[in-house]
Amino acid sequence: MRLSVYIARRYLLAKKSRNVINIISGVSVAGVAVGTMALIIILSVFNGLEEMVNRIFNTFDPELKITAIQGKVFDADSSKLLKLTKLDGIECWSGTLEENALLMYEKKQFIGTVKGVDDNYARVTGIDSSMADNDKFSLWSTGMRPQAIVGAGVAHNLGLNVNFIEQLQVWVPKRTGSVNLNPEEAFIKRYISPSGVFRVEHEYDSRYIYVPLQFTRDLLEYDDQLSSIEIKTRPGLDINRLKHEVAKIFGPAFEVRDRLEQQEIFYKVMRSERLAIFIILTLILLIASFNIIGSLTMLIIEKERDIEILRSLGADNVLIRRIFIIEGWLISITGAVAGLLLGLIICWAQQRFGLIKLNSETLMMQSYPVVMKIKDFIAVPVTVLLIGYWAAWYPVRFLTRKYLLKN
């Protein structure tokens, strides 16, 4: 094995009689290096985007969420809630009630979603960490008057400023009572003072306002109904086991979803895109590896005399084929190492200096996020070396047959 590696390394580094072979070998190394670098960079960017999305969703989505399978609301069963409170692994839970409403501020109108939450909501989610301009997530004033926390997009569309004295009007259709042709009598109108603005992500910011749960129940004419129960679990627990136990308490009429299931479509799309990009770049790398085939083909033709000398010295067919396969593999290894180093340097520079800007006003970061993971630095070189082995085996297997079958 050492002899074949030594000869292959000499063939790779030594100057060839035909300069074009050196050029093609250099192009082969460069192609493998660029493909490897691109794979590392793209996968690291996808890791960063996934981590950024997780951070956004974790601010708004609870670790577990209970909703009714049928209907928009359900009765808050005190016995089930008591069992939920006593369940090992539940740190706290929050009841929520939400409905679409017409929001009016001065002369501007906007359709948004009013989400009523109780005092535990800020503990269940990370919404308090997304408050803009050092605002506090406070739904009650010092005089125990209800207040609203408004999404940044909603505030923009309404021209709302929390420092203004003007109150926010909330209109919803009456849930009970007879049909009335008078619009004002067909709707329930309530006033509430905005006290802060939150900024999570454009989809949420342009849709939600938070209000006290009791305010929402009064607005929608409900007694103790809820739209969902959102749960915070203790760290380090088996979330699937806990989800199963919660589902047993509430029964088949309810659905219990974890964070991945709450955004299931988005995560599936993102993973599919990651896989598709990996396959596309791998195919490009495969095409680039055809240079290795060309380089080895010309080298084998040039080294016909060397093959005859090695055979006369006692080298068998296995050794001769191994020499040329190892040389092709050395091209892939050189390109893979160079690509890994370049990818590592570029990813580090993006993390450190933010070279490529994101150009988004809806996200709380200025440059593309990059997260390097060791599994990518293992999977990419393995993929490159497998392609490199095939690219070396193919010409060696068929082109050396002409010389190795000679007597």
Task: Using pLDDT thresholds of 50, 70 and 90, give the confidence band for residue 405.
Answer: low
Asked if residue 214 lies in contact with residue 116, where contact means CB atoms within 8 angstroms, the answer is: yes
Task: Show which of 260, 291, 316 is a domain's final residue.
Answer: 260
Structural domain harbouring 9: 2-58+266-404
Give mean pLDDT, residues 359-388. 84
Q: What is the mean pLDDT of the chain?
A: 86
Counted domains in the chain: 2
Highest-confidence segment of 182-196, 225-239, 311-325, 360-374:
225-239
pLDDT of residue 75: 93
Task: Give CA–CA dist 40/278, Å, rounded.
Answer: 10
In this structure, which long-range contacts are made by residues 7-15, counting pairs with CB atoms below 8 Å and at least 24 apart in sequence? Answer: 7/323, 8/323, 8/324, 8/326, 8/327, 8/330, 9/327, 9/330, 11/299, 11/303, 11/323, 11/324, 11/327, 12/327, 12/330, 12/331
Based on the domain organization, do 216 and 292 belong to the same domain?
no
Structure tokens at 385: 């070396």
Based on the domain organization, do 90 and 184 belong to the same domain?
yes
Based on the domain organization, do 50 and 141 belong to the same domain?
no
Asked if residue 370 lies in contact with residue 352, where contact means CB atoms within 8 angstroms, the answer is: no
Q: What are phi and psi of 229, to 5 degrees?
A: -120, 120
Of 71, 104, 24, 39, nearest to 382 (Cα)? 39
Based on the domain organization, do 301 and 229 belong to the same domain?
no
CA distances in angstroms from 103 to 4, 72, 209, listed in the order given: 78, 21, 10
Residue 168 has pLDDT above 90, yes or no: yes
From first CA to last CA, the distance across the chain in angstroms is 25
Structure tokens at 328: 């092709």
Query: Using one digit for the tens of pLDDT, what is the confidence trace for 60-114?
Result: 899 999 999 999 999 999 899 999 999 989 999 999 999 999 999 988 999 999 9
Give mean pLDDT, residues 372-385. 93
pLDDT of residue 360: 63
Query: Using one digit for the tens of pLDDT, what is the confidence trace for 142-158?
Result: 878 999 999 999 999 99
Based on the domain organization, do 89 and 148 belong to the same domain?
yes
Based on the domain organization, do 243 and 99 belong to the same domain?
yes
Query: Using one digit for the tens of pLDDT, what is the confidence trace for 111-134?
Result: 999 999 999 999 999 888 888 876
Query: Using one digit for the tens of pLDDT, what is the confidence trace for 20-55?
Result: 667 777 888 898 999 999 999 999 999 998 888 888
Based on the domain organization, do 34 and 102 belong to the same domain?
no
Of 172 and 6, more confident? 172
pLDDT of residue 407: 44
Query: Using one digit for the tens of pLDDT, what is the confidence trace for 293-342?
Result: 877 777 777 777 777 777 777 777 778 788 878 888 888 899 999 999 99
Task: Using pLDDT thresholds of 50, 70 and 90, give the confidence band for residue 178.
Answer: low
CA distances in angstroms from 177 to 180, 188, 189, 227, listed in the order given: 9, 11, 15, 22
Q: What are phi and psi of 185, to 5 degrees?
A: -85, -15
Based on the domain organization, do 136 and 6 belong to the same domain?
no
Based on the domain organization, do 156 and 196 belong to the same domain?
yes
* Rg of the chain, C-alpha, whole Å: 32
Task: Show which of 234, 260, 286 is a domain's final residue.
Answer: 260
* Predicted TM-score (pTM) of this structure: 0.79
Asked if residue 73 lies in contact with residue 204, where contact means CB atoms within 8 angstroms, the answer is: no
Task: Show which of 236, 260, 284 is a domain's final residue.
Answer: 260
Based on the domain organization, do 129 and 233 belong to the same domain?
yes
Query: Using one digit for the tens of pLDDT, what is the confidence trace for 236-268?
Result: 888 999 999 999 999 999 999 999 899 888 888
Based on the domain organization, do 335 and 360 belong to the same domain?
yes
Q: For the chain, what percent of residues have pLDDT higher than 70?
A: 89
Based on the domain organization, do 43 and 101 belong to the same domain?
no
Of 404 and 407, more confident? 404
